[in-house]
A and B are shown apart, each in its own frame.
Chain A
Amino acid sequence: MGPSHPAMHGTIRIMVELDGERILNSEVEVGYLHRGFEKTCEHKTYFNLLPYTDRMNYVSPLINNLGYVMTMEKMLGIEVPEKAQYIRVILSELSRISDHLTCIAAMAMECGAFTILLYKMKAREFIWDVIEQTTGARMTTSHIRIGGVRSDLHPGYEEVLKKAVIETRKVLKDVSGLLDKNKIFMDRTRDIAVVSPETAINYGWTGPCLRSTGVYFDVRKTFPYLVYDKMDFEVPLGERGDNYDRYMVRMKEMEQSLRIIEQAMEKIPKSAARTMAKGMEPAEAIKISREKRVDKRIVLSPNLEGSEKDKYQDILTKSKKVVVPPKEDTYTSIEGLISHFKFFMNEHGIRPPKGEAYFAVEGGNGELGYYIVSDGTDKPYRLHVRAPCFHVMAALEEMIHGHYVADVIPTFGSVNMIGGEMDR
């Protein structure tokens, strides 16, 4: 079952030995999307390698960003302002919902339920609208930066976010009405590829696949990070560990993610209303700055939104060495200019202390961990990613043993293999 198959999951090759339709032996071959991420990262500075991290688990891109950034913050020992933490939580829960939506859409499409794909893509468009209006890109955003977030949530975000939540709830209700008690779907997924909790732990599974076997482990609850300890949400568990349970755990997790988003929307600290004094044009400000320091606000072009000084205290940390300085400083004062080019210059920039750190966040598939070894320069010495779906795929040979060829498709779909994450 070859490397390019029309399932929209990724490239993987499963060689099966059959007896009629039953699978006797199988072998899984991976690596068709190996893009050399870890070696490339050894040649880029810490700031430059953010876009590479986006493209690993491409259905939930902001969570990859988050994992990398939190590992760096652990090494550098910096504290992120509270509003930025809430923004990060909202964005990563939106990414998680979009991950689960895509997984179930593809799984259902292969079982023949094409309408589920269309409904879920519709819901995903609303979510991506929110992400686009805040970050500027639909998918690969590089929005979460070391020290905070790149820019604040856009003005008027509440309506768009509420609309996305309402539409997603509608779609979830429709889909669960279509698939939950559907005899055909249940026949195809119940008791197929059952995994026991001991096997799952032995294989190193984490995430929805582990929770579907009944083991309670969620990185957000066990090792809480950001503001998850202030949120009230449940962690759904399955019973049997078959395909149907994996599907149900994902559906329920999406509902919990929506709850988290609603709580975050209420609890997010509002930025103090600032009197927007009339600004001056940059050219005038530069002229004045040659004689004396400029105190008034400068009117920046819309492309530089998010780089203004008055927003920085909400979204970025106070530590100066790890963030790009605000544009007003860069244009008008010599210290700002120096700190700007020292940030980007070769051999300068973000330089964490020597040592190594590991930090894990809860990705769409499980525990996404980053292991960074630093030797004091501005480029990482070694960057390794603990990909959650790598371990789940290692178990696939055992899971499909003894089943029919047609069972491979929903099994593979429920496991949510993302090629970019597995092969890095």
Chain B
Amino acid sequence: MEKKKIVEELKQKFPEKIKETSSDFGDDTVIIDRDFLGKLVQFLRQEPYEYTMLLDITCVDYLGREPRFEMVYHLLSLTEKHRLRIKVPLSEQNLSIESLASIWKNANWLEREVYDMFGIRFYGHPDLRRLFMYDGFEGYPLRKDYPLRKRQPRIPLRK
């Protein structure tokens, strides 16, 4: 099928940059290094693939594994009718990655959310600050070492 070819084509074009590809459960996934993200994305946006829509940016915290974090990008191609997943592992010592906010405008808010929840810095981002949590909140809630019930009230609570 044509869909499988995309992952293999990428592997042929960039054999040393793409670390791993897989198709678990029917989802095509590509694992790359953090330096290659911008170039791969620009490559995928052109013909004939046309992955013009960024669906989602998120992050997973694998506590106890090195590298600890892993950024996950989902892309969609309207012409090919295909979704692609790009994963970029990040280690805790160097928790930053380049921002896609100049390419896709919704990356602005998506990266702010990842920064808010996980603490990953995006260099090149125009305005990196918290999105969901309030100023004065310390810590990054979705990391595995933040306890679920640790509350930081904004105003003094009664009783």
> Does B60 sit within 8 A of A, measured CB to CB?
yes
Q: Which of B53, B56, B78, B110 contacts A371 (CB 8 A)?
A: B56
B132 with A423: CB separation less than 8 A: yes
Q: Are A369 and B24 in contact (CB under 8 A)?
A: no
A310 to B53, CA, bound (A): 46
User: CB < 8 Å: which of A30, A74, A202, A204 contacts B25?
Assistant: A74
Q: In the complex, are the beta carbons of A34 and B60 less than 8 A apart? A: no
Would B60 and A204 count as touching, CB distance under 8 A?
Answer: no
In the bound assembly, the distance between CA atoms of A222 and B53 in angstroms comes to 15
CB distance from B78 to the nearest CB of A (A): 6
Stretch at the interface among B9-17, B33-41, B101-109: B101-109
Which residues of B are found within 8 Å of A34, using beta-carbon distances?
Answer: 132-133
Q: Which of B74, B108, B132, B133 has the most CB of A within 10 A?
A: B132
**Which residues of chain B from 93 to 135 have any CB-CB distance to chain A below 8 Å in the complex?**
104-106, 108-110, 117, 130-134
Query: Per-position contact with B for A335-369: 1 when CB-CB < 8 Å, else 0?
Result: 00000000000000000000111100000000101
Contact (A38, B142) CB under 8 Å given A202-B104, A203-B106: yes
Q: Which chain A positions have C-beta within 8 A of B130?
A: 31
Q: Given the known inter-chain contacts A36-B141, A369-B74, A381-B60, please indicate yes or no for A394 contacting B132, CB distance below 8 A.
A: no
**Interface status of B136 (Cβ within 8 A of chain A):** no
Known pairs A36-B141, A38-B142; A355 contacts B24 (CB<8 A): yes
Interface flag for B72 (CB, 8 Å): yes
**Closest residue of chain B to A76, judged by CB?**
B25
Kindly state the separation between the CA atoms of A38 and B109 in the bound complex, as whole angstroms.
Answer: 17
- A36–B149 Cα gap in the complex (Å)? 10
Q: Is A201 an interface residue (CB 8 A)?
A: yes
B residues in contact with A204, CB < 8 Å:
53-55, 104, 106
Residues 137-159 of chain B, each 1 if its beta carbon lies under 8 Å from chain A, else 0:
00001100010100000000000
Chain A residues, Cβ within 8 Å of B141: 36, 39
Residues of B within 8 A of A203 (CB): 104-106
Bitwise, B26-52 to A at CB < 8 A (1) or not (0) is 110000000000000000000000001
Nearest CB to that of A210 among chain B residues? B53
> What chain B residues lie within 8 Å of A202 (beta carbons)?
52, 104-106
Which B residues lie within 8 Å of A74 (CB)?
25-26
Q: A43–B148 contact, CB under 8 A?
A: yes
Expressed in whole angstroms, the Cα–Cα distance for A36 and B141 within the complex equals 9
Given contacts A31-B131, A217-B78, A369-B74, contact A357 B105 (CB under 8 A): no
Point out the residues of chain A lying under 8 angstroms from B131, CB to CB: 30-31
Chain A's interface size range is: 35 or more
Q: Which of A372-390 contact B (CB under 8 A)?
A: 373, 381-382, 384, 386, 390
Q: Which of B27, B53, B134 contacts A358 (CB 8 A)?
A: B27
A223 contacts which chain B residues (CB < 8 A)? 81
Please, how many angstroms separate the alpha-carbon atoms of A355 and B24 in the complex?
7
Nearest residue (CB) in A for B25 is A357
Q: Are B148 and A390 in contact (CB under 8 A)?
A: no
Determine the residue in chain B with the shortest Cβ distance to A373. B60
Interchain CB contact under 8 A, A391 and B106? yes
Q: How far is the CB of A13 from chain B (nearest CB, A)?
A: 11
B83 interface hit (Cβ, 8 Å): yes
Any B CB within 8 A of the CB of A75 = yes
Assess whether B58 is interfacial by the CB under 8 Å rule.
Answer: yes
A82 to B: closest C-beta gap in Å: 21
- Docked-complex contact B104 and A369, CB < 8 angstroms: no
Is B72 a contact partner of A371 (Cβ separation < 8 A)? yes
Q: A40-B148, A203-B106 are in contact. Are A371 and B74 (CB under 8 A)?
A: yes
Look across to chain A and name the residue whose beta carbon is closest to the beta carbon of B142.
Answer: A39
Q: How far is the CA of A203 from the CA of B74 in the complex (A)?
A: 14
Q: Which residues of B contact A222 (CB under 8 A)?
A: 81
- Contact pattern, A 192-205, Cβ under 8 Å of B = 1, otherwise 0: 00000001011110
The 8 Å CB contact of A394, one of B74, B81, B109, B134, is: B109
Question: A215 at interface (Cβ–Cβ under 8 A)?
Answer: yes
Residues 36-74 of A at the B interface (beta carbon under 8 Å): 36, 38-40, 43, 74
In the complex, what's the smallest C-beta–C-beta distance from B71 to chain A, in angstroms?
12
Q: Closest approach, in angstroms, between the C-beta of A46 and any C-beta of chain B?
A: 16
Q: Which residues of B contact A31 (CB under 8 A)?
A: 130-134
Residue of A nearest to B108 (CB): A394
Task: Name the B residues within 8 Å of A391 (CB-CB).
Answer: 106, 109
Inter-subunit contact B74/A358 (CB<8 Å): yes
* A395 CB–B CB distance under 8 Å: yes
Task: Report the minimal beta-carbon distance from B155 to chain A, rounded to whole angstroms.
Answer: 14
Tell me the chain A residues, 198-246 only, with Cβ under 8 Å from chain B: 199, 201-204, 215, 217, 222-223
A424 nearest CB neighbor, chain B only:
B132
Could you give 8 example pairs across A and B, Cβ below 8 Å?
A31-B130, A39-B146, A40-B148, A204-B55, A358-B83, A371-B56, A386-B56, A394-B106
Chain B interfacial positions (CB closer than 8 Å to A): 24-27, 52-56, 58, 60-61, 72, 74, 78, 81, 83, 85, 104-106, 108-110, 117, 130-134, 141-142, 146, 148
Per CB-CB distance, the 4 closest pairs between chain A and chain B, nearest first, are: A31-B132, A204-B106, A34-B132, A394-B109
- Other A-B contacts than A34-B133, A357-B24, 8 sampled, CB-CB below 8 A, are A39-B142, A204-B55, A223-B81, A369-B56, A382-B61, A390-B106, A390-B110, A394-B106
